[in-house]
């Protein structure tokens, strides 16, 4: 029996279209070789939406996102739109999706493929076998807190301010997601905060400890964010699942990404539940729009393709299809194929589209 699902794609800006084209090849292969019937529509977000409508995300597109089964995002932003006011910049479209769809839980895995261990700036013995999950609270904290803004104090002096705020309920729900994730892995959870300085994260730690009583099989420890940054570089394999605030998660996940050798390898999932009980979710590479390499056919599409893998795991609850995609990406890497960001002398350099084709060639050997 066919399983019909809808996907809204938001290729976005910069390299977004280039990498999504390669993910689309994988989606087309799945459509042609499995019981899935994936109905894929493309919409505008970010700078491309601003150029057409004046808004980083239109209400019409937002309504389509509310009812689709999953969202795939490429990347948003670029220097072309940096002069706009904050409320009109491309990134506001992304933040609007997170807030309106209540995508409060962001999953950012950092996995080192064996064949890419040499691409990391750390010694192989430090990162070999690394499989880390950072769970970032995504709809609260300083990125959304009010009041915020810039005020003129006098002729030559301005004041910029943001508000870091969390409610116990916001903390409780991300904590539950983190503990359940830890239960499905190695039953170890590290909560990262700055409770010695910030009252909001003092509350964070208190609520995390309260929630931990419901998960006695999970070993919980706490770490200040400055120490966690150091430990990620010194001994990353001490961690299995990390849960942290919006801003700390943003920073730590980018730090963790370089343990793997390239931002171009890391997917992410942002998940929430609507008032009707429907699971809302958006999948995207961790990297940005990379306008400096846009149009040069050198962007790495593997994070976008691996985001499709996460979509099948978390939205479609199909671990088998998710693992098939990961397995064949790994085969491509084991064959020595590389885009520029992960290239070394002994490997074969591929363009963006050639890398997508290489993944498809491996998938052709799968028997579904």
| Residue 250 annotated as catalytic | yes
Beta pairing class for 105-111 and 267-273: antiparallel
In angstroms, the CA 107 to CA 232 distance is 17
Structure tokens at 15: 């390299």
Decide the pairing of beta strands 267-273 and 279-285: antiparallel
* Active-site residue, selected from the candidate residues 102, 254, 318, 354: 254
Nearest partner of 95 among 291, 275, 246, 274, judged by Cα = 246
Q: Is 235 a catalytic residue?
A: no
Catalytic residue among 250, 283, 337, 341: 250
Question: Please, what's the b/e burial string for 293-316 (b: 16 or more CB within 10 A of its CB; e: otherwise)?
Answer: bbeebbbbbbbbbbbbbbbbbbbb
Under a CB-based contact definition with an 8 Å cutoff, are residues 243 and 178 in contact?
yes
Compute the Cα dihedral for 353, 268, 39, 331 and give only its sign: positive
Of 36, 143, 314, 337, the catalytic one is 143
Q: How many helices (H) and strands (E) does the chain have?
A: 12, 14
Block residue for tokens 């009583």: 213
Tokens of 226: 């400055």
Q: Contact 175/207 with Cβ under 8 angstroms? A: yes
**292 tagged catalytic:** no
Distances (CA, A) of 210 to 140, 173, 207: 20, 12, 5
Q: Which of 25, 96, 194, 313 is catalytic?
A: 194
Say if residues 244 and 225 touch (Cβ distance below 8 Å).
Answer: yes
* Choice among 51, 131, 226, 292 that is catalytic: 226
Is residue 143 flagged as an active site residue? Answer: yes
- Residues annotated as catalytic are 143, 194, 226, 250, 254
């Amino acid at each position: 029996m066919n399983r019909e699902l809808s996907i809204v794609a938001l290729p976005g800006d910069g390299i977004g279209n280039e990498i999504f084209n390669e993910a689309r090849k994988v989606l087309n292969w799945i459509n042609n070789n499995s019981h899935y019937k994936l109905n894929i529509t493309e919409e505008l977000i970010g700078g491309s939406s601003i150029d057409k409508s004046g808004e980083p995300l239109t209400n019409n597109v937002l309504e389509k996102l509310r009812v689709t089964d999953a969202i795939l995002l490429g990347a948003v932003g670029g220097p072309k739109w940096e002069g706009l006011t904050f409320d009109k910049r491309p990134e506001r479209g992304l933040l609007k999706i997170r807030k309106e769809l209540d995508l409060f839980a962001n999953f950012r895995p950092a996995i080192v493929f064996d064949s890419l261990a040499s691409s990391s700036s750390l010694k192989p013995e430090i990162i070999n076998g690394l499989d880390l999950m950072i769970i970032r609270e995504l709809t609260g904290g300083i990125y959304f807190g009010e009041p915020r803004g810039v005020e003129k104090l006098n002729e030559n002096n301005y004041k910029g301010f943001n508000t870091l705020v969390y409610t116990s309920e916001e903390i409780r729900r991300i904590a539950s997601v983190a503990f359940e994730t830890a239960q499905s892995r190695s039953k170890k959870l590290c909560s990262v905060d700055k409770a010695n300085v910030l009252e909001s994260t003092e509350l964070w730690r208190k609520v995390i400890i309260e929630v931990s009583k419901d998960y006695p099989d999970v070993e919980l420890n706490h770490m200040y964010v400055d120490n966690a940054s150091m430990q990620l570089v010194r001994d990353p394999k001490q961690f299995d699942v990390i849960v942290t605030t919006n801003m700390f998660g943003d920073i730590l996940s980018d730090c963790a990404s370089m343990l793997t050798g390239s931002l171009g390898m890391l997917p992410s999932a942002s998940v929430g539940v609507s008032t009707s009980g429907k699971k809302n979710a958006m999948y995207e590479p961790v990297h940005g729009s990379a306008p400096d390499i846009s149009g040069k056919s050198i962007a790495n599409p593997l994070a976008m393709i691996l985001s499709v893998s996460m979509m099948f795991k978390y939205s479609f609850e199909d671990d088998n299809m998710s693992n098939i995609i990961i397995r064949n990406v790994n085969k491509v890497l084991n064959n020595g194929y590389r885009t520029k960001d992960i290239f070394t002398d002994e490997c074969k350099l591929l363009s963006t589209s050639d890398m997508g084709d290489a993944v498809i060639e491996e998938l052709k050997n799968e028997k579904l």
